[in-house]
Amino acid sequence: MTGGRGSVARALIDELLAVDAPVRVVSRDPAQADVPAGVQVAAADLARPESIPAVLDGVRAVFLYAEPAGIDGFLDAAAAAKVERIVLLSSQSAQEPDRSNPIAHRHVVVEEAIAASGLAWTFVRPGAFATNALAWAPSIRAQGVVRGAYPESHSAPIHERDMAEVAARALLEPGHEGQRYALTGPESLPARGQVEVIGEVIGRPLRFEAVPLDEAREQLLAQMGPSAWPGIADTLLRYQADSDGRPVAVSDTVAAVTGRPARTFATWVADHASAFRPER
């Protein structure tokens, strides 16, 4: 498993441990990998092909975050190690025909490499992560306000546990090979509505304040920090503009794969409520 510190990977670790599946997390810096007891941690870097074969010894299935650097060498090593299947955490943006979109480009490059590798694969393609709302937490805690350019911009946020449950099925069960699973939460909500849900769950009145586009862009860049991909802020703002006042399509894939409806945004907020409450 790559991306062991990501929210989806952490939820997936819990899913796999719950059924006693052995888990090996790959990290550039194993000392920084804070994982539960029983999880193996191995040092490797996809950008260094020589580091890969050892961590694939005995591995039957791989969960990958979409990282184009070194993907061809990784797939060659996976084939040599007789890995049976790869599950990729991709993105709904991979369905877009516009390759100039940096989010789409990043995921399409990895999807195409995996599809051409000859290995069995499943692409898990979520839309908006519910965890994106954590970017609002500092201003909610401090001021009870969220600022953005498009208060009525819609998304259907998906809980990381739902993504993890779908990925776990694809890793452990037959029948998911060749599937491109588009995942969303169960409801399309505007940004303002998501802020209202957070307020209801934490018992505090919150408001959404519309700000000019340039200010929203600077805010996004500050939230993402120096690791932000080139063009990412403008791409996210374009997504928001495209869905301004327009509900997005909702998928039933979580229910189809797991047999249980996708968790609501309110459920996600309840699971993360402490992030939004002022410190005492």
Domains and CATH numbers, the chain: 7-126 (3.40.50.720), 130-157+186-248+263-280 (3.40.50.720)
Do 114 and 88 meet the contact criterion of CB atoms below 8 Å apart? Answer: yes
Output Rg (C-alpha) for the chain, integer angstroms.
19
Backbone angles phi and psi of 248, in degrees to 5: -95, 160
H or E segment at 210? Answer: strand 207-210
Do 276 and 202 meet the contact criterion of CB atoms below 8 Å apart? Answer: yes
Q: Which residue bears the tokens 């307020």?
A: 199
For the CA atoms of 234, 142, 193, 180, what is the dihedral angle to 10 degrees? 50
Across the chain, which distance is largest between two alpha carbons, in Å?
A: 57
* Dist. CA 197–CA 136, nearest whole Å: 13
pLDDT the model gives residue 280: 66
User: What are the structure tokens assigned to 171, written together?
Assistant: 């890793």
User: What are the structure tokens assigned to 15, written together?
Assistant: 């899913």
User: What are the structure tokens assigned to 197, written together?
Assistant: 């849900």
* CB count in 10 Å sphere of residue 229: 12
pLDDT tens over the chain, length 280 residues: 998 888 999 999 999 999 999 999 999 888 888 889 889 999 999 888 899 999 999 999 999 999 999 999 999 999 999 999 999 999 999 998 777 788 999 999 999 999 999 999 999 999 999 999 999 999 999 999 999 999 999 999 999 999 999 999 999 999 999 999 999 999 999 999 999 999 999 999 999 999 999 999 999 999 888 777 778 899 999 999 999 999 999 999 999 999 999 999 999 999 999 999 997 6
Q: Which residue bears the tokens 């998906």?
A: 158
For residue 10, the Cα-to-chain-centroid distance in whole angstroms is 11
Q: What is the DSSP letter of 214?
A: H
pLDDT the model gives residue 51: 93
